[in-house]
A and B are shown apart, each in its own frame.
Chain A
Amino acid sequence: MSWTIKHCLRLSPLILPYLVLFCGGVFLTVCQSFGILTPLPHEGGALDAYAKLLADPAFFASFFFSLGVAAVSALLAVITGTILAYRVWQLPRQLATASLVYKIPLILPHISVAFVILIFWSPSGIVASVAHWLGVIQTLHDFPNLLYSGWGIGMILAYTLKGTPFSMLLVMALLFRFDVRQIQTATMLGASGLRIFFTIVLPRLAPALHTGFIILFLYSFGAFDIPYVLSESRPGMLSIHVYNLYFKHDLARRPEAMAILVIMFCFAVLFIIAYSKIVNRLESGVRKL
């Protein structure tokens, strides 16, 4: 008994903020989504906000669009990150220090990456201006519409740019502990570069890839900064929709904003559980080296 109390006390700097800030926040969000503890007295039933959302096709459009942007960008970031990390790891020692450049985007805030994409790729941005100057396009209107294509390409570019060095970092950590002799043996036995990568290296990197994917995917699914600069009006990202409901509409609509947040939170939790279950099942069939 006293043992647990002692440990709880010792852990309290960690547990207290978690309980008060995180659990408190989630609790309040859930309450307000049911119309309890809202700034204005809520009229109507507890589930009104959810009923309204679930009956609205635009909500689902937003939800699946956010999901798509998050999945594509996380996948791209993990794939590019892994390939780049593998190539950097293969570089001669002298070049390894120089390759630290890849860490630079890590310290750039998301919002700056969003502006970089905007400045380069908007219809009157740097790329369009250069193309116009070179005579590739006649007027600025001829520039292909990357940022406003309806496919969220701008956001996907930004998230990929930001996520790639992050997955590189995770993959590099594993690669540096990798036993090179396995690769040397495989080469001596005549395995091709591709074969080595897919059968020897990749399975070892799997934990980093899964972690990287989950973190990047869930972050981009709910994040606000990049969509605020780059998202289009339709289909809108969920985070922008929540922001508008929370800050710019009548207070009576607070439960709706909170209900979206609750749905996003539940989705994130379910996603992590389902993902790790699937990965476990897949990996239990794989022979461990």
Chain B
Amino acid sequence: MLKKHIALIAFWILFMLPGPAAAKNTEDSLLQIPFQQIAEQARNHQVRWYMFGGWAHVNAWVDTYVAGEMKKRYDIDLVRVPMDAGIFINKLLNEKAAGKKTGNIDLLWINGENFKNAKEAGLLFGPFAQQLPNIRKYVDPESMAHDFGYPVEGYEAPYGRAQFVFEYDTAAVSAPPQTITGLNEWIRANPGSFTYPQPPDFTGSAFIRQLFYAVTGGHEQYLSGWDPDLFARKAPLLWNWLNAIEPFLWQKGQTYPKDSAFLDTLFSRGEVAFGMSYHPSHAQNKILEGSYPKSVRTFVMKDGSIYNTHFTAIPFNAPNKAGAMVLADFLISMDAQLSKYHPDKWGDFPALDLKRLNPKERKQFQSVDLGPATLGSDTLNPVAVPEIPSDYLEALEQGWKEHVLDN
């Protein structure tokens, strides 16, 4: 009896002791060994991808195309878990505080201030990006050096590109404004027909950043990093602009839509004249889905339209880091990027550098029919302006509450 107990205890001690140390070694080696071996390690395992789950068409693309290809190519079972970035960051923070060495998230869809938060709190594994062959082959290193002005340092792999667009219904508005000044005049001439999601909503926050560039003389001045004096000097221009139009907004500016989904609903019901999205193909997707009328089109302001890159990253306690790397690599592959670009799949813009493709591959991207509601890169690229460093983003969101909402 006693012997049995001792044996059991010894078993548990043996079982528990070498675990973390061994795991640590293999993990670090993932950052050195050839990708072939990583893919071999990942074979026949499960990869759990935590990502924003609010878009049915994106979920369908992941569940069918990505999951199917991962199974076929690498024998990996992909499990998609829908969760907002802010929530999984907090989950990881709690796990880190509790000393949980093996979590249940393998890959994250992340960018911007969530990435900054995660990296600063030591929640990420890496740098892994340069280990991925498709990144070395297709991605312009410059395009993945910064995420909202915060250095990426290989802790994220790019997988898509987004740019801010406005949406309108050609049946209701004949000529949408072309500039921010024009928008201002339009709002005053059509009281109650314009609004934007309340920051810190992702889309609403992007809208005020874009305005910030436009009403304070361009984006260049902010890109060199956080400058409190500059912000203190420039921000009042934005607050004045927003406060001046507030009485002419939907519900007289008494309230703002809580998130972009709310604005989409208002727009589709005709309560407001303009929708907005950080995804150029959003309107086309909504038309295909049947929730927007076929007459909806998108437009951009000549003053500039913000673009960003979205990324994937691997948590410090991911149980299957090799699998996560294989998935991150597949997502930036030529095949996945092309499939993702089709508007009936997702319509997300490629994060790879088209110049690095051979002419035949480039032709495949150029011949994708984006649909009548999505603007082509010939319209989008000339007005594209980069994202602001994330310190400004936080200051703008906080300032908006203080100077516009609570004013």
User: Which residues of A pack against B, CB within 8 Å?
Assistant: 37, 39-40, 57-58, 61, 123-124, 140-141, 145, 148-150, 228, 232-234, 236, 244, 246-251
Contacts and interface: CB of A to CB of B under 8 A. Distances in A.
B251 A39 contact: no
A244 B269 CA distance: 27
A249 B397 contact: yes
A40 B120 CA distance: 8
B145 interface: no
Contacts of A247: 84, 86-87, 90
B64 interface: no
A233 to B, nearest CB: 4
Contacts of B116: 250
A236 B199 CA distance: 13
7 contacts: A40-B121, A58-B401, A124-B269, A232-B254, A233-B258, A249-B200, A250-B116
Contacts, number: 63
A141 B406 CA distance: 26
A150 B270 CA distance: 23
Given A40-B121, A124-B271, A233-B198, A248 B254 contact: no
Interface residues of B, number: 31
B117 interface: yes
Contacts of B93: 39, 251
B97 A248 contact: no
Contacts of B86: 246-248
A230 to B, nearest CB: 10
B317 to A, nearest CB: 15
A202 B375 CA distance: 68
A145 B402 CA distance: 25
A150 B253 CA distance: 11
Given A39-B97, A61-B406, A249-B397, 20 more contacts: A37-B97, A58-B401, A58-B402, A58-B406, A123-B271, A124-B270, A145-B251, A148-B254, A150-B254, A233-B198, A234-B405, A244-B200, A246-B86, A247-B86, A247-B90, A248-B201, A248-B397, A249-B398, A250-B116, A251-B93
Contact of A234 (B254, B394, B402): B254
Interface string B105-128: 000000001001100110000000
B394 A250 contact: yes
B256 A233 contact: yes
A58 B120 CA distance: 30
Contacts of A228: 258
Contacts of B402: 58
B200 A148 contact: no
Contact of A39 (B121, B256, B270, B394): B121
B68 interface: no
B371 interface: no
B208 to A, nearest CB: 14
B192 interface: yes
- Cβ-closest 3 pairs across A and B: A247-B86, A58-B406, A232-B255
Interface in B252-290: 254-256, 258, 269-271
* Most chain B CB inside 10 Å of its own CB: which residue of A57, A149, A246, A251: A251
